[in-house]
Structure 1
Amino acid sequence: MKRFAWALIAVSLVACTTTDPYTGEQKASNAAKGAGIGAVLGAVVGAATASKDDRAKGALTGAAAGGAVGGGVGYYMDRQEAELRQSLQASGVQVRREGDTIRLIMPGNITFASGSSDIRGDFYNTLDGVGKVLAKFDETAVRIAGHTDSTGSLDLNQRLSESRADSVKRYLVSRGVAGGRIHTNGYGPRQPIASNATESGRQANRRVELELIPLNK
């Protein structure tokens, strides 16, 4: 049974191996990994619940069902990630994949003027592309987080981070993304990703992040 289960994983991963367009590396997609694990679990359950004479058939049936469930969310997020990467090439926005979550990191220097929560006019096209993809893939929740550097008072930075997150939400809603899917928070300077002792570090900390989370996980 173990041999059969690992064979299913191998088949799933080989069948769904893709080429990363940015590195040229051959790798298994998240959908393939989920399908492989789901297939194994389904095979084990199917074999365990079948009669002795029907264990092979039960394993195959369970593997098929488990593979479909395991690959569904991963495949959906794979497609969304691919369209976001295509839309955001050369935009300055970072796209990061963390399991079934997609994170978009928007540096403050390309999204807002210093000290302002008004979206820069030259960033509209980028947000238009994000909004188009999010409206299409409507089975994800969107968390928008605003962040600042440590320059200025804590109260001012907190309000600025909240206002920037709200500005991005309003713009995405204006582009067809349902407001009920979007939740905003401002964190001020409390979650730095670089040192505030340098200009480059402060620039990295002034950012808005979008976290895309599957609703049907």
Structure 2
Amino acid sequence: MLMLKRVVWLTSAIVLAGCSSVSETTSKMFPEMLETAPRSEHDVMHPEWADAPIMSTAKVGGPNGQYRSHSWDELETYLVNQGLDYELIPGDYVMIRLKQKIHFNTGSANVADGSAMWLEQLANFLSRQQGVDVVIGGHTDNTGTVRLNDSLSDKRAESVKRTLIGKNVPRQMIYTRGYGEYVPACTNTTQFGKACNRRVELTLIVAQ
């Protein structure tokens, strides 16, 4: 109740004094309130401002709260230098999904020539990293039976895995999964769309 009376009295004083003297009037009447006023959202969430935990600034945070590591810095530098687009997946871990896809010819589990070079370059880079896991997702278009496409998507993922292992990426850092025709990236009604769907997607998980 006392605080309410102060607020009402302060409002009246401001109206009478005019806008030009608001700052001076406020600082004279309630200096202790200005000194302890919340300076950030964190302060508002923690009314015991003096006892609020001190946040470390030794590391730079990512957009989803992840903290940068040496492996993340090196990976990001490599992707930028190679012109490989990527997106950061929200979550507790640093997960980077490459927008560049690995493509295949119809009915084939062999990496298409247009994808082979950059995949081998990526494999060479990953072989020198100790803190990056690779998740390989295989996909197909809707040509053929569902059973055939399920098997083919697994084979495509395994084909990429063999390429990585052949460049000395540790086997235990690689995970594969086939999705068949169930997660198309493009329409299956055109030849261009089908070619788009014959793909492997890579997600890189960076240890913190």
TM-score after normalising by structure 2:
0.64
**What percentage of aligned pairs have identical amino acids?**
32
Contact 1:105 1:208 in 2 (8 A): no
1:107–1:166 Cα change, 3 Å: same
Number of equivalenced pairs: 164
Aligned pairs for 1:47-62 within 5 A: 55=50, 62=54
Aligned pairs for 1:141-160 within 5 A: 141-160=133-152
Equivalents in 1 of 2:112, 2:37: separation in Å? 57
Aligned pairs for 1:145-184 within 5 A: 145-184=137-176
**Structure 1 residue 204: Cα displacement:** 1.8
Equivalents in 1 of 2:37, 2:125: separation in Å? 41
Contact 1:105 1:207 in 2 (8 A): no
Say yes or no: does 1:80 pair with 2:71. Answer: no
**Structure 1 residue 96: Cα displacement:** 2.6
Between structure 1 and structure 2, the one with the greater Rg is 2
Equivalents in 2 of 1:194, 1:2: separation in Å? 53
**Structure 1 residue 137: Cα displacement:** 3.6
Contact 2:157 2:178 in 1 (8 A): yes
TM-score after normalising by structure 1:
0.62
**Structure 1 residue 191: Cα displacement:** 0.7
Q: Which residue identity lines up with residue 151 of structure 1 in the other structure?
A: T
Query: Could you tell me which of 101, 106, 109 is aligned with 2:95?
Result: 101
Contact 1:141 1:213 in 2 (8 A): yes
1:94–1:153 Cα change, 3 Å: farther
Contact 2:105 2:195 in 1 (8 A): no
List per-residue Cα deviations over 1:87-142 (Å, max 9, x = no partner): 2x3xxx6523334321124545xx43322112245543211221133234432321
Say yes or no: does 1:138 pair with 2:130. Answer: yes
Q: Between Structure 1 and Structure 2, which shows a larger proportion of helix residues? A: 1
Ranges of 4+ aligned residues in structure 1 off by more than 6 Å: none
**Structure 1 residue 74: Cα displacement:** 4.0
1:85–1:70 Cα change, 3 Å: closer
Gaps of 5+ in 2: 1-35
Query: Could you tell me which of 52, 55, 61 is aligned with 1:71?
Result: 61
Corresponding position of 2:16: none
Contact 1:106 1:207 in 2 (8 A): no
Q: Which has the higher contact order (CA 8 A, sep 6+)?
A: 2
Gaps of 5+ in 1: 7-39
Equivalents in 1 of 2:74, 2:150: separation in Å? 35
1:2–1:166 Cα change, 3 Å: farther
Equivalents in 2 of 1:122, 1:190: separation in Å? 24
List per-residue Cα deviations over 1:25-71 (Å, max 9, x = no partner): xxxxxxxxxxxxxxx69xx88x95xxx9xx4xx76x822x2x33663
